[in-house]
Amino acid sequence: MFKNNCTKNAVRRKLFYIILLVAGLFTCNPVLAQSTIKNPWAVKDIGTLPPISSLTKGIWLKGELHIHSSHSKESSNNSVGKILAFAKSVGMGFICITDHDNHVDGDIAHNTWTDSEFKSDSVLLLYGAELTTTRGHANVFSAKPYNHQLLYNVRDQRDTVIGRIKRQLGIHLSANHPSGKDNFGYSYDLVNSIEVWNSVVWSRNANAIMIWDDMLSSGRKLTGRGGSDAHHGTPDSPDKATANSGQRNANYVGTPTTWVFAKERSSQAVVDALTNGRVSISSNPYAPRVEFYADINDDGKMDMMMGDNAKATGKPVNFRVQLTGEHIPEGKFTVTVIKDGGKFGTFEASGEMPMIQFTDAPKILGRTYYRVTVEGPGTPYPQVPGAMTVNGNMVGLSNPIYFNFDPNF
């Protein structure tokens, strides 16, 4: 009996171990386990995308999105009135004065915005500030006053907390000078745009462009914008000059200039255009504007512009890049097309309205984006005479045209 029981127990034990082994095979073997786990993020058909807004009902407006007035402590000779009068004189359509919030303990509302000179009869004024923190800088853009203090109070908190406050305030947040000193050290999921062209010195922006392409390639529909980050104005008298006053002659309002295609002439429409990416950047207010369009159904009519997102059909798309505005009559421009972060091709453009066209078929499944840069002869900016030399040969750049980007990303 005793022996028999022992044998039975041994058999049961063996069976138990076999069951354990088989179960283990199914749960621990990565190959078998993979086949049972569904990846919710796998590339799949994007479904129906929202319709594309009108390409004609709207207005092109140019502006400045990063500038410091005398409410920023390290600026000089740059009153709000001086900045706004200058912006008007060069035909700017909008401006956001973005003073450092840390200089006024986050109280932008009782400093920049209540300045008696904070008004304009022709330039749309955005409400904003530069969130200036130990983890980097970001600009806020808003069509109406918002409680900046709330954002300032959480500047050192986790990104999830900052994201909550940002949503609560209903503001557009934008990463400033993303590489180098005071680089943007927060998650890019917090921002609607990125400063890909900071100040007149174009050559310093290579890393910002690299970060932008990385964010775009990873599915983030992120608008690229410019900002002079100018701090210094013209001294009213020679004795008011500072060691930095010379900067005024090369870097001021509009170096570079950000263009938006807004649905109407209103501050809210400017912010919406920035969020949607119907935006291009030019070296100065007089340089030609880069416009980038696509005809997706081969009927010869353009259906999308930069910032727009459509479902790829697998068929070829006809793209068009054009330069609008004054330029040197014999000017020859080089248009570089970037596809998904890599160089797609270069094209030469010249004539009265320089234009190039190219064709490509965005893949039917998964994301594709195209954006362009335009290099060539500079356009003089008499009010900021030193700008053309420092800027180099960058004329302007577009935002991407997107295919299969998930609007709910």
Site residues, Zn ion (CB under 5 A): 130, 137, 176, 229
CB of 52 to Zn ion, least distance (A): 34
CB of 40 to Zn ion, least distance (A): 38
| Residue 319 tokens, joined | 């793209």
CB of 406 to Zn ion, least distance (A): 31
CB of 371 to Zn ion, least distance (A): 24
CB of 136 to Zn ion, least distance (A): 8
Would you put residue 77 in left (φ > 0), alpha (ψ -120 to 50) or beta? left
Query: 214 near 403, Cβ under 8 Å?
Result: no
Q: What are the Cα distances from residue 223, in Å, to 36, 103, 170, 281, 335?
A: 39, 28, 17, 11, 20
**With helix as H, strand as E and coil as C, how does 364-389 read?**
CCCCEEEEEEEECCCCCCCCCCCHHH
CB of 95 to Zn ion, least distance (A): 14
Residue whose CB is less far from Zn ion, 195 or 295 = 195
C-alpha to C-alpha distance for 174 and 162, rounded to whole angstroms: 13
Residue whose CB is less far from Zn ion, 374 or 387 = 387
Side-chain-facing half-sphere of 310: CA atoms under 13 Å = 22
Residue whose CB is less far from Zn ion, 130 or 308 = 130
> Closest residue (Cβ) to Zn ion?
137
C-alpha to C-alpha distance for 394 and 374, rounded to whole angstroms: 6
Residue whose CB is less far from Zn ion, 229 or 375 = 229
Residue whose CB is less far from Zn ion, 176 or 251 = 176
| Residue 16 tokens, joined | 């138990």
Residue whose CB is less far from Zn ion, 100 or 327 = 100
CB of 343 to Zn ion, least distance (A): 30
CB of 202 to Zn ion, least distance (A): 17
Residue whose CB is less far from Zn ion, 199 or 284 = 199
Residue whose CB is less far from Zn ion, 64 or 229 = 229
Q: What are phi and psi of 73, to 5 degrees?
A: -60, -35
C-alpha to C-alpha distance for 126 and 142, rounded to whole angstroms: 6
Pairing, β 193-198 against β 223-227? parallel
Which residues, including other chains, have CB under 8 Å from residue 150's CB and lie 6 or more apart? 165, 168, 169
Q: What are the Cα distances from residue 241, in Å, to 80, 200, 217, 332?
A: 18, 21, 46, 40
Q: Judging by beta carbons within 10 Å of its beta carbon (0-12, 13-18, 19+), is residue 2 exposed, middle or buried?
A: exposed
Residue whose CB is less far from Zn ion, 101 or 130 = 130
E-assigned strand segments in 143-264: 172-175, 193-198, 223-227, 257-262
CB of 198 to Zn ion, least distance (A): 8
Residue whose CB is less far from Zn ion, 120 or 176 = 176
CB of 234 to Zn ion, least distance (A): 19
Length of the chain: 409
Query: 283 near 274, Cβ under 8 Å?
Result: no
